[in-house]
Structure 1
Amino acid sequence: MSAVSLITGGAGGMGLATAKVVGRDHSVVLCDVRQERLDAAAAELAGLGISATTVHCDVTDRDAVGRLFDGAAVAGTLASVIHTAGVSPSMGDAEYVMRTNALGTVNVGEQFFARAGEGAALVNVASMAAHILPAELIPTAVFPAALQDPDTFMAEMLTACEIAPEEARSGIAYALSKSFVRWYSVAQAERFNGKGLRILSVSPGSIDTEMGRLEEQAGAGAMVADAAVPRWGTAEEMADLLAFCASRKAGYLTGTDILNDGGVIASMTERTRLASQ
């Protein structure tokens, strides 16, 4: 059977760019919440000689994610899941951002754990935002509840967002939800390895995609200007990294997060150090 790479958010900038890379030697299954964009993505891939199976799926719907994996099983043997589906602060309120980014990751990750065979890899997309918040503001003790009691998890995480005024809570929810993605990708590594599976995350900086540009006026633009590499990253640069992390070449890579932000966090950290002298 064909080796299959399942890409969530597959019609988005990073997802589609990644499909163009992994589609060279894998069957590709794309899911997204927007059918018209899925159709356009499939047509673009077909023009490159890549045949993609498309599935309309909301990753916050656990049953829908189960059906997504059913479809991937029909396409072949699951080799990797590259989970790019997510939303930014400008796309909804704190509850929507938290549910999509955090619980969506659990839904995808737990289906992957239940169904994938030895040697398969799950690569989650976190964010440089997960590297910015001070550790004392991140309610890590609440994180395990996402796997056992999602309602309690959501209530506790939304309470944690109340440190910010109402208008800023979607931004805090984004940073906390991506901190959760980073945690999940580290904390579950030993459990996943028990089945011969890999799990890790990649934290992009400001990437020149439709979703990335939504945050240009909300601080991302200023961070880009002050980065060690003072430009926006490209979807293709992220795609090559995501594809490598999911590949057999990265067989020793698990339980970690890779920050690919053009040096934004490094620059911010050094400027803070110098300012404190």
Structure 2
Amino acid sequence: MSTEVSVVIGNGGMGRAVARRVGAGHRLLIADYKEDALEPVAEQLRDDGFEVITQSVDVTSRKSVAGLAHTAAELGRVTRLVHTAGVSPAQAPIPAILAVDVLGPALVLDEFTDVIAAGGAGVVIASNAGHFYPGPLSPEDIHALSDFSAEDLAGHALLSPDRYADGSIAYQFAKRAAQLRVKAVAAGAWGDRGARLNSISPGVISTPMGRAELDGGDQGLVRSLIEASAIRRTGAAEEIAAAAEFLLSPSASFVTGTDLLVDGGAVAAITTGRFDPTAF
């Protein structure tokens, strides 16, 4: 029997929680842009009994992502892929948000199409911000975000930084793009491969990225939205990892092409009128 491989891209708070949750019993390949941050995490996992391999990756480079996919395939049968890498408005300017959060998922899903095993599953971490994007997106825009190659998408007007008034709008757009890409790839290339694919849209999670959002320029809006939500707290990275574990498991064998909101009811608070973001 060939060795099963789990791949986790992104070494932030969610990525580390996911790796620990889904990597037991598999060869675990963890990847991140910051190579020097990988080894301390890998050593801790190894001390806890995980078999860990690390590799640096630039998710905006097809060559780099293809190299990661090649490494994964050489390690064994790739049955789990989780893409958590991303940047927020508190961390990066608009061009980087568009590159990492739009082109990154497109490249990862494309390069892993021929690597993911039949019966395997993938999860892309998006954000509930994607549900807030005001648009509009035309049918042609949706087609481009869903189906264009990353190279063609990079030159599309939708990825012009000048289109976005601020980083928050660019981030909402980028996460909506990720949700659309996942749905299209799940129905198409990954479905043809016999693999499942879904996205998770977290709310504010208590990770370094989430805490930066809470302390950023929109902190009044974010904190008020949390208070208006049903659960009334930030989430934990382990709660996102638990959702990913479910979507990757046989228990979710009839679930593909969907976006799972794990946001404590934030989107529900807005769509039901309990919270009005335009008041801020």
Normalised by the length of structure 2, the TM-score is: 0.89
Task: Quickly say closer, same or farther: Cα 1:74–1:145, change in 2 above 3 A.
Answer: closer
Tell me the residue number matched to 2:67. 67
With over 3 angstroms needed to count, the CA separation of the structure-2 counterparts of 1:25 and 1:147, relative to structure 1, is same
- Tell me whether 1:199 sits opposite 2:197 in the alignment: yes
Structure 1 residue 151: deviation in Å? 3.0
Residue identity opposite 1:67 in structure 2: G
Residue-by-residue CA offset, 1:85-113 (whole Å, 9 max, x unaligned): 11111111111101101111011000111
Shift of residue 136, structure 1, vs aligned partner: 2.1
- Name the stretch that deviates more: 175-184 or 67-76: 67-76
Cα distance, 1:129 vs. partner?
0.2
The aligned residue for residue 4 of structure 2 is: 3
Cα distance in 2, alignment partners of residues 147 and 74 from structure 1? 25
Asked if residue 216 in structure 1 is aligned to residue 214 in structure 2, the reply is yes
Return closer, same or farther for 1:47/1:204 CA change in 2, 3 Å cut-off. same
8 Å CA contact 2:126–2:179 kept in 1: the answer is: yes
CA distance in structure 1 between the aligned counterparts of 2:275 and 2:260, rounded to whole angstroms: 23
Match of 2:28 in 1: 28
Question: Tell me, what secondary structure is at the counterpart of 1:266?
Answer: helix
- Is the contact between residue 112 and residue 122 of structure 1 (CA under 8 Å) also seen in structure 2? no
1:185 is aligned to 182
In structure 2, the partner of 1:236 is 238
Q: Which residues in structure 2 correspond to 1:126-205 (within 5 Å)?
A: 126-136=126-136, 139-143=141-145, 144-147=147-150, 149-153=152-156, 155-158=157-160, 162-164=163-165, 168=166, 170-191=167-188, 192-205=190-203
What is the letter of the counterpart of residue 2 of structure 1? T
Identity in percent: 33
CA distance in 2, matches of 1:137, 1:78: 35
Q: What is the Cα deviation at residue 150 of structure 1? A: 2.8
Cα distance in structure 1, aligned partners of 2:211 and 2:276 = 30
Q: Is the 8 A contact 2:247 2:255 kept in 1?
A: yes
SS at match of 2:230: coil
Per-residue CA deviation, residues 233-257 of structure 1 (Å, 9 max, x unaligned), is 0001110111221123311110110
User: Over aligned residue pairs, what C-alpha RMSD do you find?
Assistant: 2.0
Comparing 143-152 with 125-134, greater Cα deviation is found at 143-152
TM superposition shift of 1:273: 8.6
Deviation at 1:62, TM superposition (A): 0.7
Q: Measured at CA, do residues 65 and 163 of structure 1 come closer, stay the same or move farther in structure 2, by a change above 3 Å?
A: closer
SS in 1 for 2:272: helix
Asked if the contact 2:103–2:154 (Cα under 8 Å) also holds between the matched residues in 1, the reply is no
Q: Say yes or no: does 1:262 pair with 2:260.
A: no
Give, in whole Å, the separation in 2 of the partners of 1:274 and 1:3: 47
Q: List per-residue Cα deviations over 1:119-141 (Å, max 9, x = no partner).
A: 11121111000111235267424
Q: Which amino acid aligns with 2:155?
A: T
Question: 1:190 offset after TM fit, Å?
Answer: 2.1
Find runs of 4+ consecutive structure 1 residues off by over 6 angstroms: none
Gaps spanning 5+ residues in structure 2: where? none
**Amino acid across the alignment from 1:173:** A
Structure 1 gap ranges (5+)? none
- Give the corresponding residue for 2:93: 93
